[in-house]
Amino acid sequence: MPTIELKRRVRWADADPAFRINFPRYFEYFEEGESELLRACGVSLLHQGSEYGFPRVQAECTFKRVLALDAEFVMRVSIGKLGRSSIRYEYQFFDEANELAAEGSMTIVATKDGKSVELPADLRAALTD
């Protein structure tokens, strides 16, 4: 299943008063990683969004090391599980020394008219290549 790595830097707007990444920002990075992974697989977010909904049903993150203001880091995004109607994305954040700083996951579910449905065939195909 596909995996991508994105190089980022902790920006001023991402930092808390102690000059380290503010924990809710990780979840914003999760969504950025999701969209970049889909884009890398050739999936149009606009096309998918027109007929289906993809609500988040679970998200978690474990913090292991500090990512300080202005520090570069790498976010690795992969598909952890491709279910009948869901996708679990897995995330790893590595600091400048390539040490694991945080890891987590986010699960989304395909919906139509507010009800869970099978993942669209084209999305499933794009994510299994």
In the predicted model, residues of the chain with pLDDT beneath 50 are none
Do the Cβ atoms of 57 and 109 come closer than 8 Å?
yes
Structural domains of the chain, ranges and CATH numbers in brackets = 3-128 (3.10.129.10)
Q: pTM (2 decimals)?
A: 0.92
Dist CA 8 CA 75 (whole Å): 8
Task: State the pLDDT at residue 44.
Answer: 77
Task: State the pLDDT at residue 51.
Answer: 82
Task: State the pLDDT at residue 46.
Answer: 64
Phi, psi of 91 (to 5 degrees): -130, 140
Residue positions counted in the chain: 129
Helix (H, G, I), strand (E, B) or coil at 47: helix
Composition of the chain by helix, strand, coil, percent to 5: 25, 40, 30
Task: State the pLDDT at residue 66.
Answer: 95
Task: State the pLDDT at residue 49.
Answer: 57
98-120 burial, b if ≥16 CB within 10 A, otherwise e? eeebbbbbbbbbbeeeeeeeebb
- Mean pLDDT over all residues of the chain? 93
| Longest alpha-carbon distance in the chain | 46
